[in-house]
Structure 1
Amino acid sequence: MEKHASMTRLLHPHVAPQAGGAPLVTPIHQTSTYELPRTDEAARIAAAVAPTGYYTRYGSPNAREAEAMLADLDGAEAALLVGSGMAAVSAALLSTVAADPGEILAQKSHYTGTLTLLQEMLPAFGRQVRLVPQEELAAAAGRQTRVVYVETPSNPTMTLTDLRAVRAAAPDAIIIADNTFATPYNTRPLDFGVDLVVQSATKYLNGHSDVTAGVVTGSAALIAKAWETARVLGPVCHPFEAWLLARGLKTFPLRMARHNANGLAVARFLAGHPAVRAVHHPGLPSHPQHDLAVRQMRGHGGMLAFTVADADAAVRVLRATKLCRNAVSLGGPETLITHPASLVFAHQSAEELAASGVDATMLRLSVGLEEPEDIVADLAAALSTVD
C-alpha cells in the first residue's frame, strides 16, 4: 500500500470490509458527492434524470427510498422529494408553466406561501394567473386554461374542491393538487384525474414534527420536468431528513387512522359547545360539502378550524390551552392550536384573508395522537374562559 502523509491519510481512510449481514434499515448516506467510475459510465450517470449516486443535490439513496414509498402511496409512476412543501409547490408549478403562455387558474383559498407565488411571483414573470372562489373553480375553467392549481381541503377553512368536476371542466389542462391536509390515506388525487400531487411531507407523511420536506408525485414524464426545475433551484432534501421521512412513513397508516378518529371526536365536541359559533371539518354532517367529502375522502383527517364570538375570545382560548401547543405546523403526534389570521397568514393583506375565508375569530387545530378525552378536556377548560 502506498505511503502517504498523515493529512492525506485522514482524507482517504482505509476501512476494512466488515463481516456480517446486510443492514435491515437503510443507512444514512451522509455524503455530498460520490466517487464515479473512471469509464464512460460516469458521463451517463451525470446526464441521467435524478441519478442516485452522483451528487446529493441531484438525489441520494435515502431520497430514492422515500420517493419509492411516496409514489406507491399516491399510486404514481414517480415521485420527487425536495426540501419543503413550498419547494414541491414551486417545482410543480414552475415546471408546468415555464413554456406555456396560457392561463393558470387557481382557487383563492390557499396556503400563504402558495398565495404569494400565485399572486406576486408568477405574474412578475409574465404568467397570467386568475384566482376564483374555490366553489367556482370548475365553472371558471376554459379553453385558455393550461394549468389548474387546487388545494383540498383548503387551509384553514377545510373547504373541498371537487376533483372530478375540475378534471371534466379542464380536460386538456395540467391539474396540480395540494393534498397535504387529506394525505393519500384519505384521498388519492391521481385517482380522480389529477396530473401532479404536491404535499408538505413535513406534516402527516413524516408525522413526528422533526423533518422539513416536500414531495411531488405523478407521471414519470412530469416528474422528470419537475426534477429539472428542482435541479436548478436547488431545494435539496438531505439524506438525514429523507431517512427520517422514510422511517415516519412506516407508521403512516396507523397514525392516520388515529388522526381521523381523534379529529372527528374533537370536531363533534366543538360543534356542541355553546361558546363555538362554527366548526369547519368535512366529517361533520353540518359541513356544506359533507356529501362530497364522503365521495372523495376515505376519512376526514385531523385538521379543523372553529370560530368563537370575537377576536378577543379567540386569543383567550389560544392562551388558555395547556395540552394543545401554540405552533403553526401540523400533522405531528401532538395537538397544535394556532390563530391563522395573525400567525399562519401573517404575510397576507386583510382583503386576501377575507377572500380565503380567514378572520380573527378563527382558530385552527391539528388534532394529534393523544387520548381524545384529554384533548377535549383541554379545549373545554380553555373555552370556559369565554362562556
Structure 2
Amino acid sequence: MSGKGFTTQCVHSDGNVNQPAHGAAHEPISASVLFNYESAQDLVDVFQGKKVGHVYSRSSSGSVSALQNILNEMEQGVGAVCFATGMAAISSTLLALFRQGDHLIVSRYLFGNTRSFFNTLIRIGIDITLVDITDASNVADALKPNTLGVFTETLANPVTQVADMKGLSSFCREHDLLFMVDSTMTPRTMFNANDFGVSLLFSSLTKYVGGHGNALGGVVVDCGNMNWAKFPHILPLYQGDDEKQWGLTQIKKLGLRDFGATLSPHAAHMFSVGLETLSMRMERNCKNAAKLAEFLDSHSAVKKVYYPGLSNHPQHGRAAEYFSDFGALLSFDLVEGVSEIEVLDKMKLALCATHLGDNRTLALPVASTIFFENSDEERAAMGITDSMIRVSVGIEDTDDLISDFKQSLDSFVK
C-alpha cells in the first residue's frame, strides 16, 4: 500500500501484507506447537533454511510471522523477530551477537530493567561504558579498539533526555559499529529509524503498539543499515547468500530458538489488532501529555517538569526536529515538603501502576520503585530525584485528567 497514509496502512496491514486465507481481515491465531510434513525432505529443507516454513512454534509460527511481517513493513526493514517481552528482545539479541571481551557504549539514562541487564553483561565479561548520549562527543571519547556497538533509547524513561541521534548515527557509520536503538517511547507514528541509520531497532510491543495493557511482547527490526560482513561474530553457519539476513538469522537461532522467549500466537494477534489504532491513540496520548505538562509546569507544588514538548526542556529543539510529536511520557519533581506517596494516594483517576503506553494514565514514584535497585549516585547521574513522579499519559478526556492532578496537588498548597 505504498503511498497511503500511515493509519491507512496500519488498518489494512494484516490483510494486505499477509493476505490471510478466505478473505479474513486478520491472520488466524495458529496455536499448533508442531507442523507436519508429508515429505521428510521438506522438513529437512525448512530446518536448513532452504525453504520457508515452520518446524516448531518456539522458533516460529504463522501468527508470529504475520506480526513480524507487519512490523518490518512498518519500519521498512529487512526483517523482524518477535519475542515474549521487550526485555527478551534486548537480552536475547545482545547475547546472540556479543561475547566476552567486547565493548559496548551505552546510554547512562536507560530504563531500569535494561540497565540491570547491561550489569549482567558486565558480569559475564562484556565491557560496558555508560555515557551521556545527549552529546555524541561523549560516545566518541568512550571508543576503544574492541568497541562493537552503541545502545541508546530515543527518548529516555523517566527523565526524557533525547539522544543525539544524528551524531550517534554518524559516529557508528564512521566506525562500522552496530547502532542499537530502543524506540519504545517513540513508536513509528513519531519516529522513523531509517532517517537516522539505525542498525537494530527494539521496541516493547507491550506499550504503545498494544496499548491496552493486555499482552506482553517485544520486537527487534533489522533496518538494513549494518554491513554484517564487518561484524566479527556472525558464525559461518549463518552466513547465507543474503548478507543482509546474517544478523537476523543468528538472532533467530542463538537468541530466539536457544533462549526460548517466544511470543505467544494470541499475543501476536492482539498486537496486530492494536496496531490499527496506534496513530489515533498516540495523537490523543501526546495531546493530553502536552496539556498536562503545561499545567504541572505552572503549579506551585511542582518544582520541575520533564517533558520535551516544553520550551525549557534541554533538548526541546532536537525533539521537534527528530519526532513528529513530543510523546506521552513525562515526569515531575515536587517542591520540598510535598510527599510523592501522598500526592499519588490522592489521585482518583490516574492509576498507580508500573507500566507505560496504556490507554489509561499511569503514575508512580520513580526512585522507590523502578529505580530502587540503583544507588543514590547512579540515580543522580540519570537525573532522578527522590521526589520524582513519572506519568504515562493516557487517552482520557483532557479536562478530567488535569482536574485529577489539580485536586491532588492543590491539597498541598497552603
Q: Is 1:263 aligned to 2:289, yes or no?
A: yes
SS of match in other structure, 1:386: coil
* C-alpha contact (below 8 Å) 1:156/1:304 kept by paired residues: yes
Query: Which residue in 1 is equivalent to 2:118?
Result: 118
SS of match in other structure, 1:129: strand
How many positions carry a matched residue from both structures? 366
Structure 2 residue identity aligned to 1:225:
Q
Query: Which residue in 2 is equivalent to 1:160?
Result: 162
Q: 1:365: how far off?
A: 0.6
Structure 1 residues 255-264 or 322-331, which shifts more? 255-264
> Alpha carbons of 1:68 and 1:336: their partners in 2 closer, same or farther (altered >3 Å)?
same
> Alpha carbons of 1:311 and 1:38: their partners in 2 closer, same or farther (altered >3 Å)?
farther
Please, what TM-score do these two structures have when normalized by structure 1?
0.90
Q: Is 1:179 aligned to 2:183, yes or no?
A: yes
Structure 2 residue identity aligned to 1:33:
L
Query: Which residue in 1 is equivalent to 2:206?
Result: 202
Q: 1:326: how far off?
A: 0.5
CA distance in 1 between partners of 2:129 and 2:319 (Å): 26
Query: Which residue in 2 is equivalent to 1:11?
Result: none
Provide structure 2 residue ranges, at least 5 long, that are not aligned to the other structure: 1-20, 225-244
Q: 1:160: how far off?
A: 0.6
Deviations 1:52-95, CA, capped at 9 Å, x for gaps: 53211111111111111111222211111100010111123223
Please, what TM-score do these two structures have when normalized by structure 2?
0.84
* C-alpha contact (below 8 Å) 1:107/1:137 kept by paired residues: no
Structure 1 segment 299-310 matched on structure 2, within 5 A: 299-310=325-336
CA distance in 2 between partners of 1:92 and 1:53 (Å): 21
Q: Which runs of 4+ in 1 moved over 6 A?
A: none
Q: Is 1:64 aligned to 2:90, yes or no?
A: no
Deviations 1:239-275, CA, capped at 9 Å, x for gaps: 0011111111111111111112111111111111121
SS of match in other structure, 1:211: coil
SS of match in other structure, 2:35: coil
CA distance in 2 between partners of 1:277 and 1:49 (Å): 61
Query: Which residue in 2 is equivalent to 1:93?
Result: 94
Q: 1:51: how far off?
A: 5.8
* C-alpha contact (below 8 Å) 2:136/2:167 kept by paired residues: no
Query: Which residue in 2 is equivalent to 1:133?
Result: 132
Structure 2 residue identity aligned to 1:67:
Q
Structure 1 residues 264-273 or 87-96, which shifts more? 87-96
Structure 1 residues 212-221 or 232-241, which shifts more? 212-221
Structure 1 segment 305-316 matched on structure 2, within 5 A: 305-310=331-336, 312-316=338-342
CA distance in 1 between partners of 2:370 and 2:102 (Å): 31
SS of match in other structure, 1:186: coil
Q: 1:338: how far off?
A: 0.9
Query: Which residue in 2 is equivalent to 1:13?
Result: none
SS of match in other structure, 1:176: strand
Structure 1 residues 40-49 or 157-166, which shifts more? 40-49
Structure 1 residues 228-237 or 135-144, which shifts more? 135-144
* C-alpha contact (below 8 Å) 2:83/2:219 kept by paired residues: yes
* C-alpha contact (below 8 Å) 2:136/2:171 kept by paired residues: no
Q: Is 1:227 aligned to 2:259, yes or no?
A: no
Q: 1:136: how far off?
A: 4.3
Query: Which residue in 2 is equivalent to 1:381?
Result: 407
Query: Which residue in 2 is equivalent to 1:5?
Result: none
* C-alpha contact (below 8 Å) 2:365/2:388 kept by paired residues: yes
Q: Is 1:26 aligned to 2:27, yes or no?
A: yes
Q: 1:372: how far off?
A: 0.9
CA distance in 1 between partners of 2:338 and 2:292 (Å): 22
* C-alpha contact (below 8 Å) 1:139/1:169 kept by paired residues: no
CA distance in 2 between partners of 1:50 and 1:346 (Å): 48
Query: Which residue in 2 is equivalent to 1:46?
Result: 47
Structure 1 segment 7-22 matched on structure 2, within 5 A: 21-22=22-23
Q: 1:132: how far off?
A: 1.6
Structure 1 segment 271-350 matched on structure 2, within 5 A: 271-310=297-336, 312-350=338-376
Q: 1:113: how far off?
A: 1.5
* C-alpha contact (below 8 Å) 2:135/2:167 kept by paired residues: no
Q: 1:350: how far off?
A: 2.4
Query: Which residue in 2 is equivalent to 1:15?
Result: none
Q: 1:347: how far off?
A: 2.6
Bigger-Rg structure (1/2): 1
CA distance in 2 between partners of 1:122 and 1:105 (Å): 12
Provide structure 1 residue ranges, at least 5 long, that are not aligned to the other structure: 1-19
CA distance in 1 between partners of 2:355 and 2:129 (Å): 28
Structure 2 residue identity aligned to 1:284:
L
CA distance in 2 between partners of 1:134 and 1:381 (Å): 37
Q: 1:50: how far off?
A: 11
SS of match in other structure, 1:185: coil
